[in-house]
Structure 1
Amino acid sequence: MATNRRDFIRTAGVGLMAATLPGYMDLHAKTVQHQLSVQLYTIRDAINNDFEGSLKQLASIGFKNVETAFWPKEITDEHAAAVLKSLGLKISSCHTDIPTKDNIAKLAALANGYNCKTIIWHGWPEDKRHSTLEGTRELISIYNKANKLAKDNGLRFGLHNHWWEYRNHVGGKLVYEILHEELDADIFFETDVYWVKVAGQNPATILQKLKNRIRFIHLKDGPAEFNDKLLSDSPDPMTPLGQGTQNIPAIINASSANVEYMVLELDKSIIDVFDALKQSYDYLAKFRSVNRG
């Protein structure tokens, strides 16, 4: 039985993963190295069934780095870190809850154990405060305070989006525009281009517009159309990169030199998930050298 996002987050600790292929593409006339990472939410069911075997399968595809979020209850952060290290998988970033005074010590310890100082608020589920300007500004205040806590503890803090930030209008603007204008300058975005397209926006245009804010990109492909099933966390099955509706070359070309990691993710796969990851990995190999001029 497949695990959905809500169940995955509810039954876990702190972390989701992504794997990195160093220097997999040159996006400028000069060399710009974005590393490839894979969000381990992608293989959550496999992890539940065979933790170490699933990670070995990722490594065998060629992934080198991972982005973490939440583990099954029986997997401790310490054990996960040891297994990842043994497989040569480094942690690019950690999906976590929003830093607060109550959890910051745990988040700092997690980051130290993972040898990764980058934490990202996973952003699920939708906070209805993003339906009004006042609510959005209340959340901005929370994010800014979380950012200060993170910095005071040697961490850096980012936000991962879904569709509502790019679909909800508040105060005459889209939510993401208010966030970009009013968040602390050092809070970075991990822009999920699939949800951007689901919201009806052009991902390449958004990447160009927010280039000074974006440090991570979630890459995924598929139908990318809004429907009511999304509200119950039941997205349409996604495809390997290059087989859906996304213009992946345009997305890659629109990605600025500020981007550190491209994070591959499938919330639900139309084929075997490891096959989809392998096909996506091979597809991205086409873009090892892209001259942007």
Structure 2
Amino acid sequence: MTPPLGIQLYTLRNQLAENFEPVIRRVAEIGYAGVEFGGVYGESPAAAKKLCDELGLEIFSTHTPTPMMENLTLAVDTANVLGVKRVVCAWIPPERFATIDSIKAACEELNTANQVFRGNDMELLYHNHWAEGYVVDGKYVYQHMIDFLDPTVNLEYDVYWAKTSGVDPAAALRELGKRAPLLHIKDGPATMDGDMTAVGDGTVDIAAIAQASKDTAEWWIVELARCAIDMMEAVAKSYTYITQQGFAHGR
């Protein structure tokens, strides 16, 4: 059974800020099974939840406000209104991964936040960028993080940023196993500042990602930070490619 295909709405942040409802309706029309929020772009969480329910879009997770530790109450309240049980810390500054001690301190903050979320019947995950693929004391930062994080804190693993930092994302997914239930799927040149592409048009070996995560991925999530073509076109092309290849399924 393939995982369902969702989209991180940060991908369409500019469009959502201008005209929220038509953009969400277009996401549903394309066929996406669910959405991950990263803010509600001027809407109330209750209105966003009502619209997604109407359209049959599952809200499977949401990113916490940044910085997370200063916004835990808001994160819990928003997740409750959206009806989600998974919340994702989307960003820790790269300088916090410079040494073993700083990595451990960052993970201790995540563990502290995790207790708050678990107390509200929620699960905390962490989303990597490029710095988690750097090597510190002979190991990748993400490997140190797995050592320091509570076993209930899993990863939302971004395969594009992993590749950008020099990590083989498929190998990392085989290593992480069930610690990476959510996957962010991007494509493009895998450079720090290059424009991304629709999934399937870039350098990421998407088939290898599918094979490596076939027994562990619970959601595939398209997320593009910027793109060489119209973003909605890229969102539709990504859906078509992923579903036609049988890597994940829509509604």
Give TM-score scaled by structure 1 length: 0.80
Residue identity matched to 2:89: W
* Superposed displacement of residue 64, structure 1: 2.4
Quick one: distance in 2 between partners of 1:245 and 1:172? 27
**Other-structure match for 2:63:** 95
**Other-structure match for 1:128:** 95
Quick one: distance in 2 between partners of 1:288 and 1:174? 31
Distance 1:264 1:203, change over 3 A: same
Q: Once the two structures are superposed, what CA deviation does each residue of 1:234-256 show, in whole Å capped at 9, x if it has no partner?
A: x3211111111111111111114
Quick one: distance in 2 between partners of 1:287 and 1:110? 35
Give TM-score scaled by structure 2 length: 0.92
**Other-structure match for 2:47:** 79
Contact 1:99 1:150 in 2 (8 A): no
Contact 2:108 2:148 in 1 (8 A): no
Q: Which secondary structure does the structure 2 equivalent of 1:212 belong to?
A: helix
* Superposed displacement of residue 289, structure 1: 7.2
Q: How many residues align?
A: 247
**Other-structure match for 1:52:** 21
Quick one: distance in 2 between partners of 1:138 and 1:151? 20
Q: Which secondary structure does the structure 2 equivalent of 1:70 belong to?
A: coil
**What's the C-alpha RMSD, in Å, of the aligned pairs?**
1.8
* Superposed displacement of residue 119, structure 1: 0.2
Contact 2:2 2:214 in 1 (8 A): no
Structure with more helix by fraction: 2
Q: Give the gaps of 5 or more residues in structure 1.
A: 1-31, 227-234
Quick one: distance in 2 between partners of 1:178 and 1:56? 41
Distance 1:289 1:264, change over 3 A: closer
Contact 2:2 2:247 in 1 (8 A): no
Contact 1:194 1:224 in 2 (8 A): yes
Residue identity matched to 2:118: K
Distance 1:88 1:254, change over 3 A: same
**Other-structure match for 1:285:** 243
**Other-structure match for 2:199:** 241
Q: Give the gaps of 5 or more residues in structure 2.
A: none
Contact 2:94 2:131 in 1 (8 A): no
Q: Once the two structures are superposed, what CA deviation does each residue of 1:173-230 show, in whole Å capped at 9, x if it has no partner?
A: 221110012211111100000000000111111111111311100001000024xxxx
Contact 1:211 1:256 in 2 (8 A): no
**Other-structure match for 1:199:** 165
Q: Once the two structures are superposed, what CA deviation does each residue of 1:12-42 show, in whole Å capped at 9, x if it has no partner?
A: xxxxxxxxxxxxxxxxxxxx33111101011
